[in-house]
A = this chain, B = another copy of it.
Amino acid sequence: MATPRKELSTNSENRQTLAAACDVNDVLADISLRWKMQILYCINEGVAQFTTLKKAFPTLSDQILGKRLKELRAESLITASDIPETTPPQIRYATTEKGRELLAIILDLHHWGLKWKTVGNNYCTVNR
């Protein structure tokens, strides 16, 4: 009689709980998706097409690359535009102001990581 048998996964519930507590949890979840910031960085550096990005990361699959580009566009971190007069229609990506500001913060994070890295070892000693 007592146990009402919980229906919903507390996994996704907790994600919502955290997002409700503070927006930054959503931001963290978004930017930590694998390859995402790396792709954004490359686009900002001029490696701006599907195929050139693929060459930049040989172990990154088409599927994830396409997914990440779609996400980045949906979040307005990059824009996509057709390159005219190309044999198979091609697309060039470019970072937005929003994307460039994010990259600046990621760079701060990078510097923080370097600053506090213990020599000869990772700053994170937790087993993975």
In this complex, what residue of B is CB-closest to A101?
A: B112
- Prevailing SS type, chain A contact patch: helix
Q: CA of A109 to CA of B22 in the docked complex: distance in angstroms?
A: 11
Known contacts: A14-B34, A28-B31. The answer to whether A22 contacts B108 by CB under 8 A is no
A25 on the B face (CB < 8 A)? yes
Q: Are A112 and B27 in contact (CB under 8 A)?
A: yes
Q: Are A26 and B109 in contact (CB under 8 A)?
A: no
Interface size range of chain A in the complex = 35 or more
A38 on the B face (CB < 8 A)? yes
Known contacts: A31-B28, A101-B112, A109-B105. The answer to whether A23 contacts B126 by CB under 8 A is no
Known contacts: A13-B59, A35-B18. The answer to whether A124 contacts B26 by CB under 8 A is yes
